Structure 1
Amino acid sequence: MRIYVILISAFLPMLASAQITRIYTLQGSGSASPLVSQTVTTEGVVYADFQASGLLNGFFIQDTLGDGNPLTSDGVLVYNPGGVNVNIGDYVTVTGQVQEYYDLTEIGNVTNVTVIGTVTNMVTPISIVLPVAAFTELEALEGMYVTFPQELVVTDNYNLGKYGEFTLASERQFIPTNEIDPNDNPASGTTISGSSNVAAVTSLSDLHSRGRILIDDAKSTSWPILCHILIR
């Protein structure tokens, strides 16, 4: 029995009358939703709220149980500018169109958001350890509540002042050719031309990509007033 059934049992007849598409079903196991352009009704708990002016014009919801499939995400962004105000912990049903925005699955063209209760036990964040084995691991966590249990280092803050974003990594990252000579195999050789070790450079570059994550303040404006960002 799901915990919110106890909290909102009075609303069960309303839930039963709606055809609910679970979040993990609309997310699917591929790089894009199998239900793009379809109108669905789904439900979940609000775990992040970015409805305020200048933010994402929406909020994230997550299925409280999920399907146990590591290839499907249990969370999704609800893009609803000027819509019903929600708060973290609200359990909501949402009706809207499944969309892909810059390869991110979201629910847009929202026609209904109904707050039907409050969940006291929030969803547990999923731990991500960098570097991931493959980028598909991150795709499967799209829109979900996550946490990084390891100590991360700032590896890039070039866009911090203008866009409020910076990059964290599992370790300091240097340009691969600072560590590996693409001409030499082994890298300690003295060859000054050729490409016998390019594969090693490419491999390290790929490892770096899988070992970092971009942190953003969720603001859509340039040169934002920066605030403290909690990473846990």
Structure 2
Amino acid sequence: MSFIFLAGITLILTINCSLAQEDITAINVIQGEGLASPLIDENVSVEAIVVGDFQGKDKLNGFYLQEEDRDADNLPGTSEGIFVYDPGELGKIENISIGDTVQVTGIVKETFGLTQIKLSEITKLNETASSFQVTVLPVTLPAEDTKYFERYEGMLVELPQEFIITSNYNFALYGEKTLSPSSRLPNPTSLSKPGLPAITLQTLNQRSKLILDDGSKKSYPDPGAFPLTLQSGDSVRGITGILSFGFGEYRIHPQSIRNISVSNPSPHKPESVGGTIKIANFNVENYFNGDGQGGGFQTSREAKSQAEFERQRARIFDAITDI
């Protein structure tokens, strides 16, 4: 994955545009003001600008469109962006990229909570050159409520705050890191009594996090989109990307990260405490070797092939040896 470094919060896109406007549906109408589209299973045509390119089966199999500023409805509850699911890779055939204005036609779907258009036709507009503007909107956390992010679903946004890596749990498997502003998110019952106090803190946690996503569907991406040394407690600032939804979580697919700071480095080795006895504990987490004879993959958990198992095995051995 490559990053495009942007300056400021306004993206000026030079595009080519020529199309009659009849039968064109605005993205904000498709998105509506609720969590789901009011136009599910309807066939629609949209004309908008490509703001996120994740084409190909190893990525997200599609791209993101956003209305230019002049066509935005300026209502606080409706999004101006949408994901276009392109399983036939029609966008590649049309050779689209970020900054192009396109007309797309397809069926509106809600897929695991994400409003999208399943593409059937696409045209890159190229007759009359003009220059339109898409403003990159700032998004800050904690959110006002759990529905706050929905108004930005599919849009190009900027996160101006400093964010802390609060969790690496899905990093190796899916290339994801959980972000929170200012500090790592606490376990609610570590600070509050079970019941309403802990539930209140958990609700705040939910409003205070986003998933930093690598923009792909790969399992065990190698190499990953983010440095392997970026760990919990480190900070990132100035993220620009597409705010989206998937697997029950709002997430951002970054196009640029202005600054990465390793503020929580791991010590090369533990400090000496004297003595000669070493005690260690290591969880190898779902270390299954198929049928034990080099076959039996995919296993019910973890390794999907012998090669994937060998990679897992080598990394575990390296980690244990370092202990």
Tell me, yes or no, whether TM beats 0.5. Answer: yes
Partner of 2:257: 231
Amino acid at match of 1:95: T
Runs of 4+ in structure 1 over 2 Å off: 6-9, 117-122, 227-232
Taking the aligned partners of 1:8 and 1:227, their CA distance within structure 2 comes to 32
- Mapping of residues 8-157 of structure 1, within 5 Å: 8=16, 11=18, 14-16=19-21, 18-65=22-69, 66-81=72-87, 82-85=89-92, 86-108=96-118, 110-117=119-126, 122-157=133-168
Taking the aligned partners of 1:220 and 1:7, their CA distance within structure 2 comes to 29
- Unpaired runs of 5+ residues, structure 2, are 1-11, 227-253, 259-323
| Coordinate RMSD, CA, aligned | 2.1
Amino acid at match of 2:225: C
Partner of 1:191: none
Partner of 2:187: 175
What is the SS of the residue equivalent to 1:93? Answer: strand
Query: How far off is 1:115 after superposition?
Result: 0.7
Question: Computing the radius of gyration over CA atoms, which structure comes out larger, 1 or 2?
Answer: 2
Between Structure 1 and Structure 2, the one with more strand by share is: 2
Query: How far off is 1:137 after superposition?
Result: 1.2
For the 8 Å contact 1:90–1:119, the answer to whether it is kept is no
Taking the aligned partners of 1:39 and 1:96, their CA distance within structure 2 comes to 5
Taking the aligned partners of 1:208 and 1:98, their CA distance within structure 2 comes to 32
**Number of residue pairs matched?**
209
Cα distance per residue 1:78-127 (max 9 Å; x no partner): 1112213210000011110000000110000x221111147755522211
What is the SS of the residue equivalent to 1:214? Answer: strand
Taking the aligned partners of 2:206 and 2:68, their CA distance within structure 1 comes to 31
Q: Indicate the larger mover: 99-108 or 131-140.
A: 131-140
**TM-score of the two chains, using structure 1 as the length reference:** 0.84
- Unpaired runs of 5+ residues, structure 1, are 183-197
Query: How far off is 1:15 after superposition?
Result: 2.1
